[in-house]
């Protein structure tokens, strides 16, 4: 049991707080208020002069399935044997000993969503995990947390380059629709058929049990995703959305959350020609909910806060930037009942910074996950 006293910082809800006492018991936030009273038995941590925030959340990563420093053997994030592989699960490829998890803890990132890659039109199931642990089954927050799909250049290049469907954006959209229809048919007649793991996974999207999370950088790809969303009446999130600033009025009509990024990267392909920090303020102005992502290891996960700093430098309000790493990120993942803000009853995921986290000269001093100090 811990008591963080004289705590000031960001509560995750877009608000700053000052001189609060935070009580942690059995892995949960027991009390967050201005009372100075600390019950017996609590270890006291004085946060005077520090800044306290909720644990940061990266909603779109390949941590543990795209390992660093290993090479091809650690690249377990794209099953490229077929253009649709809904039957695979990121959970089965996550290595909890990947250096990226330690980097996450040192960077104040306590929760991540781990996705298959974007080589396929449908890539497989994803999982949300805490960033501390040695067995992934014990790190899970939610699994499955969505079904990965991808539009644009990646599936065209990987499969079209072999002369297979899809070779065009039209082919990508057609194959996505085809698989959704096959899953609809499977649901209607599944009692008369043998089990089909691929269609079972896609059926979960049609039944509203999990969202379809779709890699879409370019404006026309985002429009295609929203078209499919409406056609099949499914829950969708946009992953990347780096050209969404070109069509914010259109996106705003569709009740969709966007994982924006990786913005702190090069314009390495045609989809990234228009990427820039201006995208985030444009979403904020249009009241489109968004989170910020590194797409680790495209941008390594310790730079999640750096990405927020850069967004503030280019016009995003500081409170909105922090929400994009905390409560809005939790809402994007559908786990805001557990994480994302410093509120009683939520998981005790807390970061203590040496100073203002939006000043790159400051750093994480301590990271807590589920009531346990995991760094510092």
**116 and 158 together in one domain:** yes
Q: Are residues 142 and 277 in the same domain?
A: yes
What pLDDT shows up at residue 190? 73
Q: Say if residue 227 is in the same domain as residue 349.
A: no
Indicate whether 271 and 361 sit together in one domain: no
Task: Check whether residue 323 and residue 191 sit in a common domain.
Answer: yes
Examine the domain organization and report whether 145 and 284 are in the same domain. Answer: yes
What distance in Å separates the CA atoms of residue 351 and residue 375, rounded to the nearest whole number?
9
Residues 155, 288, single domain; the answer is: yes
Residues 245 and 317 in one domain: yes
Cα distance between residue 55 and residue 339, in whole Å: 8
Task: Tell me, yes or no, whether 127 and 240 share the same domain.
Answer: yes
**Structure confidence at residue 68 as a pLDDT band (50, 70, 90):** confident
User: Quick one: pLDDT band at residue 17, thresholds 50, 70, 90?
Assistant: very high
Phi, psi of 236 (to 5 degrees): -135, 145
Per-residue pLDDT of 163-189, as tens digits, reads: 899 999 999 999 999 999 999 999 998
User: Are residues 233 and 113 part of one domain?
Assistant: yes
Let me know whether 148 and 24 are in one domain: no
> Residue 366 is part of a domain; what is its CATH number?
2.30.40.10
pLDDT at 210 over 80: yes
Euclidean distance between CA atoms 314 and 169, whole angstroms: 32
| Exposure string for 12-49, b = 16+ CB within 10 A, e = fewer | bbbeebeebbbbbbeeebbbbeeeeebeeebeebebee
**pLDDT, tens digit, for every residue of 28-37?**
999 999 999 9
Please give the Cα distance from 45 to 289 (Å, whole number): 35
The whole-number pLDDT of residue 72 equals 83
Element containing residue 240 per DSSP (H, E): strand 236-240
Same domain, yes or no: 213 and 234: yes
* Tokens representing residue 176 in the block: 């996505």
Domain limits for position 242: 56-339
Split into its structural domains, the chain has a count of 2
Please say if the pLDDT value at position 193 is more than 80.
no
Q: What pLDDT does 74 receive? A: 84
Both tokens of residue 117? 């890659």
pLDDT for 215 equals 98
- CATH code at position 107: 3.20.20.140
135 close to 118: Cβ distance less than 8 angstroms: no
């Amino acid at each position: 049991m811990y008591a963080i006293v004289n705590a000031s910082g960001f509560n995750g809800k877009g608000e700053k707080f000052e001189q609060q006492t935070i009580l942690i018991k059995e892995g949960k936030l027991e009390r967050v208020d201005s009372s100075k009273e600390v019950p017996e038995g609590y270890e006291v941590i004085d946060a005077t002069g520090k800044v306290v925030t909720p644990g940061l959340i990266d909603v779109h990563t390949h941590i543990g399935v795209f390992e660093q420093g290993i090479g091809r053997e650690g690249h377990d994030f794209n099953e490229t044997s077929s253009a649709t592989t809904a039957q695979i699960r990121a959970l089965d490829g996550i290595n909890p000993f990947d250096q990226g998890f330690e980097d996450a803890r040192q960077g104040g990132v306590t929760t991540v969503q781990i996705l298959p890659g974007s080589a396929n039109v449908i890539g497989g199931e994803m999982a949300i995990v805490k960033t501390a642990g040695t067995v992934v089954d014990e790190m899970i927050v939610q699994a499955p947390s969505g079904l990965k799909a991808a539009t644009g250049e990646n599936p065209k290049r990987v499969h079209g380059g072999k002369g297979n469907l899809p070779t065009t954006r039209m082919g990508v959209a057609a194959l996505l629709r085809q698989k959704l229809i096959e899953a609809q048919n499977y649901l209607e007649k599944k009692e008369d058929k043998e089990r089909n793991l691929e269609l079972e996974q896609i059926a979960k999207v049609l039944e509203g049990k999990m969202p379809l999370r779709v890699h879409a950088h370019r404006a026309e790809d985002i429009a295609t995703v929203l078209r499919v969303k409406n056609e099949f009446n499914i829950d969708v999130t946009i992953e990347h959305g780096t050209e969404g600033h070109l069509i914010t009025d259109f996106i705003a009509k569709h009740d969709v959350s966007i994982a924006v990024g990786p913005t702190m990267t090069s314009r390495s392909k045609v989809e990234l020609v228009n990427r820039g920090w201006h995208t985030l303020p444009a979403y904020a102005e249009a009241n489109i909910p968004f989170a910020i992502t590194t797409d680790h290891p495209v941008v390594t996960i310790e730079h999640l806060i750096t990405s927020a700093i850069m967004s503030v430098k280019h016009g995003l309000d500081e409170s909105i930037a922090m929400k994009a790493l905390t409560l809005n990120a939790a809402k994007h993942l559908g786990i805001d009942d557990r994480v994302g803000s410093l509120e009683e009853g939520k998981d005790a995921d807390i970061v203590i910074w040496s100073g203002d986290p939006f000043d790159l000269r400051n750093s994480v001093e301590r990271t807590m996950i589920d009531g346990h100090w995991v760094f510092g």
